[in-house]
Structure 1
Amino acid sequence: MAALLRMAGAVAALGAALVALAVGAAPSALAAVPWLALPLVAAGLGQGVVAVLALRGRPLPAVAVLAPLALPTVAWVAALAALPGAAAVLPLGPMLGESALALAAAALLARPHPAGSDEPRAVPALLSIAASATVVAAVATAALAGTEAGRYAVPHGEHDGHGGHGAVQQVHEGDAPAIDESLLEHHGHH
C-alpha cells in the first residue's frame, strides 16, 4: 500500500512542479515579484526531483519532501497576507492548483513508510498511476490554462495561421499544387 501511495504522490508532485515552473517563470512574475517568482521556479525544480526519486522508489526524508512541496504554499500565503498587492501578480487559480497538488504530494510522500520493500503488483500499480494521473491531469491542465503560458497556447485542433504542427489545416481548391499525371502512369497508378 505504501508503494501505491508513493506513486500517487509522485504523480501529484510532478503536476505541482509543472504549474510552479509555469507560474514562476512567467516574464510578468519575474519582472514584478522576482523575490517570489525565483523561489517558485526553484521549488518547481525541486518538486520535479522529488517526483522522479519517488517514482524510482527511493526513500525520501520528510524534510526533503516538505521543503520543495510545502514551502512554496507557505511562502505564497505569507506573501498574500503581508504584501497582497505584490503577491496578487501571481495568478490565483494556478497557485491554488499548485498548492493543492503540492500539499497532496507532501501528505502522501512525507508519511513514514514501514521497513522492508513492498513492491506493488502490476495491476494495482497501474490502477494507482492511472487514477492519480487522471486527477492530476485535470487539476494541472486547469491551472496551466490560467498561466501566462496557457494564455498564449494554441488550442488543440485549431489552426494557428502559421501551419502549426498538430493543427488541422483546410486545403481549398487552388491551394494544392497540381499533380503531374505522367508520374502516376510511370509508377503504375491510375
Structure 2
Amino acid sequence: MAALTRIWGAVAALGAALIALAVGAAAVPWIAVPMVAAGIAQAVIAVAALRGTRWHPGIVLVPLLLPTIVWLGALLAVPEAASSLPMAPLLAESTLALGAAALLLLRRTHDDEPKPIHTVLGLLSSAAVVATIATTALAGTNAGQFAQPHGEHGIAVEEHGGH
C-alpha cells in the first residue's frame, strides 16, 4: 500500500505543478516567480517520488505549499491585485498539492513493491482523478482561454460554391 500512496502522491504533485505553471505564466511578476518556481519544484518532486526517492519533509512541503501561501497572502495583502487571479484553478492546485503533501509524507519508511496489476491500477485511478481536476483547472487559466478547442485541430477545409 505504501508504494500506491507514493504513486497517488506523485501524480497529484504533477497535476499541481501543471496548474501552478499555467497560473504563474500569466500572473504579475511578484506572483509569477514563486508560482513558476514552485511548479518546477513540484514536477521534480513528482518525478522523484515515482522513482522512489525520499526527501526531508521540508523539501517536499515548501514547493507543495508555496502556491497556496502566495495566493492566500496576495488575497489578504493586495486584494485588488489578487482579484485578477483565477480562483478556481488556484483552489484545484491547492487541493492537489495538499493531497500530494499528505500522501507523500504519510509514506512508511519501507515501500513494499505492489504487484504489477496493483501498480497499473493505482496509476490509472490517480491519473483519472488528477486529469479531471487539472484539465478543468487549466481551462480556467489564461493559457486555457487561448487553447485550441477540441475537434478543431488540423487543416481547415474551405468549401467553395459552384465549380
1:184 match: none
User: Which amino acid in 1 is paired with 2:83?
Assistant: A
The one-character-per-residue Cα deviations of 1:139-171 (angstroms, maximum 9, x if unpaired) are 10011001111111111112xxxxxxx436446
User: Which amino acid in 2 is paired with 1:6?
Assistant: R
2:150 match: 156
Segments of 5+ residues of structure 1 without an aligned counterpart are: 159-165, 175-190
1:183 match: none
Maintained 8 Å contact 1:7/1:128: yes
Among 27, 44, 47, the alignment partner of 1:49 is 44
Aligned residues: 161
The one-character-per-residue Cα deviations of 1:70-121 (angstroms, maximum 9, x if unpaired) are 122122112212221112221111111111111111111122423x341121
**Deviation larger for 75-84 or 95-104:** 75-84
Maintained 8 Å contact 2:20/2:39: yes
User: Which amino acid in 1 is paired with 2:75?
Assistant: L
Among 137, 146, 152, the alignment partner of 2:131 is 137
Determine the C-alpha separation between the residues in 1 that align with 2:133 and 2:86.
15
Superposed, which structure 2 residues align to 1:38-187 within 5 Å? 38-114=33-109, 116-158=110-152, 166-167=153-154, 169-170=156-157, 172=159
Query: What's the TM-score, normalizing by structure 1?
Result: 0.79
Determine the C-alpha separation between the residues in 2 that align with 1:135 and 1:36.
27
Q: Percent identity?
A: 57
Determine the C-alpha separation between the residues in 1 that align with 2:148 and 2:116.
37
Larger radius of gyration, structure 1 or 2?
Answer: 1
Determine the C-alpha separation between the residues in 2 that align with 1:117 and 1:154.
41
User: Which amino acid in 1 is paired with 2:22?
Assistant: A
Shift of residue 173, structure 1, vs aligned partner: 6.5
User: Which amino acid in 1 is paired with 2:63?
Assistant: P
1:12 match: 12
Identify the structure with the greater helix proportion: 2
Segments of 5+ residues of structure 2 without an aligned counterpart are: none
Which is bigger in relative contact order (C-alpha 8 A, separation at least 6)?
Answer: 2
Query: What's the TM-score, normalizing by structure 2?
Result: 0.92
User: Which amino acid in 2 is paired with 1:7?
Assistant: I
Q: Does 1:22 align with 2:22?
A: yes
Determine the C-alpha separation between the residues in 2 that align with 1:153 and 1:6.
32
